[in-house]
Structure 1
Amino acid sequence: MTTQATRPVLLITGAGGMVGRNLLDHPDIAGWQVLAPSSRDLDLCDKAATEAWIARHRPDAVIHAAGLVGGIQANLAQPVRFLTANTEMGLNLVQACRQAGVGTLINLASSCMYPRDLGDGLAEDLVLTGMLEPTNEGYALAKIVTMRLCQYAMREDPDLAYKTLIPCNLYGKWDKFDPARSHLIPAIIHKVHQAQVTGAPTVEIWGDGTARREFMYAGDLADAVMRALADPAALPDTLNIGPGHDHSINDYYAAVARVIGWQGSFVHDLDRPVGMKRKLLDVARQTDWGWAPATTLEQGIRATYDFYQEHHA
């Protein structure tokens, strides 16, 4: 029987966020002694404090899931904050782990690191081959810097396993549903639920709704991360994580409406920003790794809506 004293120690940054909470819910987490400090206990933007914390606790492995995140509105309103905060978090944590001799770090990046004009077939070696999407450029730059630092660390010390997973867009339990801060699917859930409750006959969609996005249920990402953690040496330096297929914005609105049971109609505001027309990951490396997400879109929306009703509605 494995006791707490004999289990390896795992630090999860951002454990209070959507990805972190889904990691804590994963059954394989029981094999680890988990450290899940809040940002008050471990301020990753404070270099000295981060170095001291890591040196004191010396985890066997780290999952870096912390970050300042938000939708188009938030990124456009505060680009300086999204660039500086996320860069500081990544650089301070990776450097502190190197100094403390932490051998394994799973760094969670973002598909927004890919050039804006490629659309689909976004393979891992295409990062830094073109211009970024302006609506979240600061966040993307920060994620690229952290990914590169992990690669450089392994170049200098081949014994390190500092690997980067690049998930597609995420949604799920513990998501943010505030329209000012939320991403697409939780924002749609909130809007359509409000329309259902108030009897509103229409719901507004930004743009014409034809832009396509790839989304994955956050519980599936947690499964991929735990698998990566079990054998980090088997991972390439960078690995896309996603279903490998996408849907239009209109499709996501229609799927949420079906789950909620709202039968109104949608109207399009063509003056609103919509970001990239398409952003679809190439999951060939993921397929070679032998993993794929298990949750269908409607299953994920149903679970997320149930969570929304319990905690937010």
Structure 2
Amino acid sequence: MDKKVLVTGGSGLVGTYLKDIMPSAIYVSSKDFNLLREDEVKKMFKEIQPNIVIHLAALVGGVHHNIEEPVRYFEENIIMNTFVLKESFNNKVERFTGILSSCIYPDSVTTYPIKEDKLLEGAPHENLFSYSYAKRCLAIQIDMYNKKYNTKYNYLIPCNLYGEFDKFDPIKGHFVGALIEKIIHAKKNKNNSITLFGDGTPYRQFMHAKDVAKLINKMILTDKFYNINIATEENYTVDRIAKIALRVCDAENFQINYDKNKPNGQMRKDIEISKLKKYFPDFQPIKLEDGIKQIFNKRIASI
């Protein structure tokens, strides 16, 4: 590719996989530029002068951390998104792709899985309220730039993500990464049980972050500007996901305890992917059990 590509959040979950797929892009992280400062964002664009921007940078974390830090999750994401999008336009960036999250969809909808046109039909779930609205605002910002200036900006809405570069932290990490870490910790301490938040009944879709990176690359290479959901068709309860993880991590005999004093989060938020299958019919995502097993084996080998 002869275009200069800038990737924010380059050291994050998706960005790390994207480096292998798009090695010629320029990857920046918070160590390089503070995207919460407008002068730093202006400096970044002046130094790099990109033609294409893939905006992955965000403050992300698990349900518990979102509940503890609602102001940070709203303000920091709103500020980052606004500065990066504004400077992309001011610097005549040809293409901007933002990554959102399925948690931006309404908590209460009448039909599942959720289609893209349901985005503004209600408020998101209260436990991720501030983060969800900040991400939803980015979708509106992108749509308004396209409407007023006829720009070629788009956004992708992935389901929950996981991968080997996740935060393996029981509080700040995503569910699958935290689950794998709990299993490893239990094995290490010769325990035969793990404890999870809630009661195990909510449904979740999980997609390997490597698959998201592949789709971003495909969309750019084919010069497509779709605003679409991206997910797998595997939509399981938290309890089933935990049992899959225990099986592939050779811990099938472990007991799962649920802390029902902790929140479940949104009970269901699976997203519809007919547009994804239409536009990228050959795309084959990594199966959840295969992804978990691969990550578990790598984590064990690195400890």
TM-score, reference length from structure 2: 0.95
Q: CA RMSD in A?
A: 1.5
Contact 2:6 2:53 in 1 (8 A): yes
1:272 and 2:267 matched: no
Alpha-carbon distance, 1:163 to partner:
0.6
Aligned-partner SS, 2:213? helix
Cα separation, 1, equivalents of 2:266 and 2:299: 27
1:117 and 2:108 matched: yes
Aligned-partner SS, 1:177? coil
Tell me what 1:105 maps to: 96
Cα separation, 2, equivalents of 1:38 and 1:265: 39
Tell me what 1:17 maps to: 12
Tell me what 2:280 maps to: 290
Q: Which moved more, 1:73-82 or 1:203-212?
A: 203-212
- One-letter amino acid of the counterpart of residue 245, structure 1: E
Tell me what 2:138 maps to: 146
Contact 2:102 2:158 in 1 (8 A): yes
Tell me what 2:240 maps to: 251
Cα separation, 1, equivalents of 2:10 and 2:301: 21
1:55 and 2:46 matched: yes
Tell me what 2:127 maps to: 135
Alpha-carbon distance, 1:34 to partner:
1.7
- One-letter amino acid of the counterpart of residue 148, structure 2: E
1:65 and 2:60 matched: no
- One-letter amino acid of the counterpart of residue 113, structure 2: G
1:77 and 2:68 matched: yes
Contact 1:44 1:89 in 2 (8 A): yes
Aligned-partner SS, 1:268? strand
Cα separation, 1, equivalents of 2:173 and 2:118: 27
Aligned 1:194-213 pairs, distance under 5 A: 194-213=185-204
Cα separation, 2, equivalents of 1:310 and 1:138: 37
Aligned-partner SS, 2:25? strand
Deviations 1:246-304 (A, max 9, x none): 01101111111112111221122222101111110011111111244421111110122
Contact 1:242 1:293 in 2 (8 A): no
Tell me what 1:126 maps to: 118
- One-letter amino acid of the counterpart of residue 139, structure 1: Y
Contact 2:207 2:232 in 1 (8 A): yes
Contact 2:184 2:300 in 1 (8 A): no
TM-score, reference length from structure 1: 0.92
Cα separation, 2, equivalents of 1:177 and 1:217: 15
Deviations 1:51-100 (A, max 9, x none): 23213321111111111100011101100001000111101000000000
Contact 1:106 1:229 in 2 (8 A): no
- One-letter amino acid of the counterpart of residue 121, structure 2: T
Alpha-carbon distance, 1:161 to partner:
1.5
Tell me what 2:147 maps to: 155
Contact 1:216 1:293 in 2 (8 A): no
Cα separation, 2, equivalents of 1:266 and 1:95: 47
Cα separation, 2, equivalents of 1:264 and 1:302: 16
- One-letter amino acid of the counterpart of residue 213, structure 1: R
1:187 and 2:178 matched: yes
Q: Which moved more, 1:166-175 or 1:258-267?
A: 258-267
Q: 1:235 aligns with which of 207, 225, 241?
A: 225
| Number of aligned positions between the proteins | 300
